[in-house]
Structure 1
Amino acid sequence: MKPILFLSLLATTAFAQVNPNISEAMDKMVAAKEISGAVTLVADDQKTIHLGANGFSDLENKASMEADNLFWIASMSKPITGTAVLMMQDAGKLSVDDPVSKYLPEFKGLKDADGKEVVVTIKHCLTHSAGLAEVTPQESGDIATLKDLMPLIVAKPMQFAPGSKWQYCQTGINTAARVVEVVSGEAFPDFLDKHLFQPLGMENTTFYPTEAQAKRLATAYKRTEAGELQKTGLMFLGNKPITSHDRYPRANGGLFSTAADYEKFARMILRGGELDGKRYLSEKAVKQMTTVQSGDLQTGFTPGNGWGLGWCVIREPQGVAATLSPGTFGHGGAYGTQTWIDPVKKRIHLLLIQRADLPNSDGSDIRKAFHEASAK
């Protein structure tokens, strides 16, 4: 890391101290070859409490992990998408209870397996209860816009009646993002840049990293049968570089970010929608999206949870989340990245790793070790 960049990073994190318990826990995970390295962060509503970088961002080149390394945050994109939707609700442009068809005509006339017409709401999309089918990477091919993705979604049969069950659904989140595009008149990446990322100072959060940002990308790894870490790619890129714009902005999981960037977003949410004197969301909107909106539906990926609007909400802390408070909310990503905001203890927990083949990234031993070390 260049000295001037290092000083800048320290300035943004208020000279955070490294928590030795967290550092030791991550070092053990590196030594056990569970991960190549990690960036961990704990913060409150005012400052960074811990910022650590352990292990390597690239094993082959023995490149040390740095606090400003870029990560594919995958489904940690979903809370950002939920936030964009609620920003539009605050602006009077939509209600999450509105039918999607009010804004996307192609969703009119959706029918279930019995031929009965069904109505999918924006809330259904954000709580994974819409019943929409997934679109595979092969089917989406070279589609480069959310607009062009929508006909593929509605062409597929409904999986179940909207609101009747919880089933993790990428197409629902992308549909909600398309609604944001229609009501705002802006492409989703432009909307996020203009209304969220730039005002918050999230200069390294993007669907399409620059060449300079790509050089700071932490390498993704999977475990071999022999227990070694083997370099692997990012599942959604195909053979395209991460700098390519020739793919649609995956609101469900296409963002790249850094610890310092995501901390700013999380702190704004922890503070009820305000940061540094600027209000991004009403307190009512923050409350709505970070409390259970999925009713009594049984949700995944770990027990004791419900679902808000783009956020997982912990009803009953247990297992990997045992040290967190009831009402903690957050989201995990496919390659093990995690963000959790505890509104009782006023703590932000951020874990950035790139492990491709975890059986359950939300229920990983790495996440458990991080939370437990943070609580010491």
Structure 2
Amino acid sequence: MKRIPQLFFIAFLVIEMVMAQEETPSVITEISKKRLDSTLKSFVDNRDVAGVSALIYEKGEEVYYNAFGYADLKKRKPMERNTLVQIYSMTKPITGTALMSLYEKGKFKLDDPLEKYAPEFANMQVYKGVDSTGKMILEPIKRPVTIRDITRHTGGFTTRNDIPRLSTALRLADPFNWENNLDQMAARLGRVPLWFQPEEKWEYGPSVDIQAFLVERISGQPYAEYLQEHVLGPLNMKETRYFVPKSDQKRMSATYSHDNLGFLDQQDDQESHAYNYGKWNFTPGGWGLTSTLDDYMTFAQMLVNMGSLDGVKILEPETVELMATNHLDENIKDRSWLPSKGQVGFGIDFAVRLRPPASTKENNGVVGEFFWDGAASTLFWVDPVNKLTAVFFVQIFPFNGTLHKKFRDAVYGPLSMENTGN
């Protein structure tokens, strides 16, 4: 056999190295930017929202930003890049990050019983219905609630207001009163029976508020203080906070709903922003933070970079991977409204996409992405395959998933079964 000339061999190696390092094609192109502009503008033109803004990064670079409409429709104040919004449940992944920073330090294991650190939740009973006199029927818990349960919403906790007698008991316990501190919240919530046995269902509820309490209990530090010291501060997320001082309140977006005729109805600021304009004892892990596009993008960029950003390490790569891995057993069939998010499971405070969309009606996205949204219809996601992160801000009630579907289609292109592999 003839030997390959040395120069040819070197050239062959170089080509192989270049091909191995070749990046995936860009998702955000000039065509998709025009599509995004058109889509976001249509939300305002169609009176779906008063104002909308979006920020997208790809491979560490900003590739799209725009805003349309108004943060304050009555005052004709435009939606801008530094507009503050209430992110509601997009608080949850931030709380999960704080909790998992303690996990990395060996302070707990995911399958540890919650009661090991919080005896407030020991010997809980489980709701089985009501008897003929209207009294609750209870049964003993079959196994303790674990920390994993409260990170994936399988612990049995609920905030529903339509469960006979149980909802009344929850209302009377009043665990989520803003005057309560997290210790008081846990003590009051621990006296209310669970709605179902652990791991019997997926049910959204107060689990991430319990995570905030757990951070406080394990660290020995007030939750808001721990969050600032270990997550928000190191990432320089100065605009992400519970309390918005008067000097910054002019940047807060109003919140909106629709009246019976379909017109936008702007809510009273003092009422809709009452939590963030006051200083309360209650620092929930599941909601309550305000943020800006750039601040929340900083958080998303830390995640897509596997726990680090600009030389600051918040989590180890293995921990981010653990958080973005499905922990929800396929045998759990009762999942409330989670299936409306698409072909997803649930990790640690994120939905995790397991399969391509099964129909064109489902949300567009890439297998492996992890994401969450907020009650006022905000959204973010992390797409590790394309190194893409997106943050989408509106302030509209009730939650409008159609906006998310259209925004995702604008990012990735219209969904067809051909490009999902189905």
Structure 2 residue 104 is matched with structure 1 residue 90: yes
The Cα of 1:206 is off from its aligned counterpart by: 0.6
- Preserved CA contact (<8 Å) 2:255 2:272: no
- Preserved CA contact (<8 Å) 2:173 2:192: no
1:228-243 equivalences in 2 (<5 Å): 228-232=263-267, 240=274, 242-243=276-277
SS at match of 1:200: coil
**Separation (CA, whole Å) in 2 of partners of 1:184 and 1:365:** 40
CA separation of 1:216/1:136 partners in 2, compared to 1, >3 Å: closer, same or farther?
farther
Structure 2 residues without counterparts, runs of 5 or longer: 1-29, 127-137, 160-169, 414-422
Structure 2 residue 415 is matched with structure 1 residue 349: no
Aligned residue in 2 for 1:122:
147
- What letter matches 2:299 in structure 1? F
CA separation of 1:238/1:63 partners in 2, compared to 1, >3 Å: closer, same or farther?
closer
**Separation (CA, whole Å) in 2 of partners of 1:320 and 1:218:** 30
**Separation (CA, whole Å) in 2 of partners of 1:136 and 1:57:** 34
**Separation (CA, whole Å) in 1 of partners of 2:39 and 2:183:** 44
**Separation (CA, whole Å) in 1 of partners of 2:141 and 2:373:** 35
CA separation of 1:253/1:204 partners in 2, compared to 1, >3 Å: closer, same or farther?
same
The Cα of 1:333 is off from its aligned counterpart by: 0.5
The Cα of 1:193 is off from its aligned counterpart by: 0.9
- Preserved CA contact (<8 Å) 2:158 2:203: no
CA separation of 1:153/1:233 partners in 2, compared to 1, >3 Å: closer, same or farther?
farther
Q: Aligned pair count? A: 355
CA separation of 1:320/1:125 partners in 2, compared to 1, >3 Å: closer, same or farther?
farther
Structure 2 residue 250 is matched with structure 1 residue 215: yes
- What letter matches 1:355 in structure 2? I
CA separation of 1:320/1:212 partners in 2, compared to 1, >3 Å: closer, same or farther?
farther
Aligned residue in 2 for 1:334:
375
Superposition misfits of 4+ residues, deviation over 3 angstroms: 135-138, 237-241, 319-323
- Preserved CA contact (<8 Å) 1:207 1:254: yes
**Separation (CA, whole Å) in 1 of partners of 2:70 and 2:253:** 8
Aligned residue in 2 for 1:373:
410
Further displaced range: 241-250 or 269-278: 241-250
The one of 71, 88, 105 equivalent to 1:57 is 71
**Separation (CA, whole Å) in 2 of partners of 1:239 and 1:374:** 31
**Separation (CA, whole Å) in 1 of partners of 2:371 and 2:143:** 30
CA separation of 1:366/1:238 partners in 2, compared to 1, >3 Å: closer, same or farther?
closer
**Separation (CA, whole Å) in 2 of partners of 1:35 and 1:116:** 45
- What letter matches 1:198 in structure 2? G
The C-alpha deviation readout for 1:146-167, integer Å capped at 9, x for no partner, is: 1110122111111111112111
SS at match of 1:191: helix
CA separation of 1:253/1:330 partners in 2, compared to 1, >3 Å: closer, same or farther?
same
The Cα of 1:87 is off from its aligned counterpart by: 0.7
The Cα of 1:317 is off from its aligned counterpart by: 3.5
Structure 1 residues without counterparts, runs of 5 or longer: 1-16
TM-score, L = length of structure 2: 0.79
**Separation (CA, whole Å) in 1 of partners of 2:79 and 2:154:** 38
- Preserved CA contact (<8 Å) 1:45 1:270: no
- What letter matches 1:114 in structure 2? E
1:173-192 equivalences in 2 (<5 Å): 173-192=208-227
- What letter matches 1:366 in structure 2? L
Structure 2 residue 193 is matched with structure 1 residue 157: yes
The Cα of 1:243 is off from its aligned counterpart by: 2.1
The C-alpha deviation readout for 1:42-70, integer Å capped at 9, x for no partner, is: 11241211111111111111111111100
Aligned residue in 2 for 1:172:
207
The C-alpha deviation readout for 1:226-272, integer Å capped at 9, x for no partner, is: 1100012589x678352211251121111111110011111111111
- Preserved CA contact (<8 Å) 2:369 2:383: yes
Aligned residue in 1 for 2:167:
none
1:303-342 equivalences in 2 (<5 Å): 303-318=342-357, 322-342=363-383
Aligned residue in 1 for 2:301:
267
The C-alpha deviation readout for 1:127-155, integer Å capped at 9, x for no partner, is: 01000233559923343411110122111
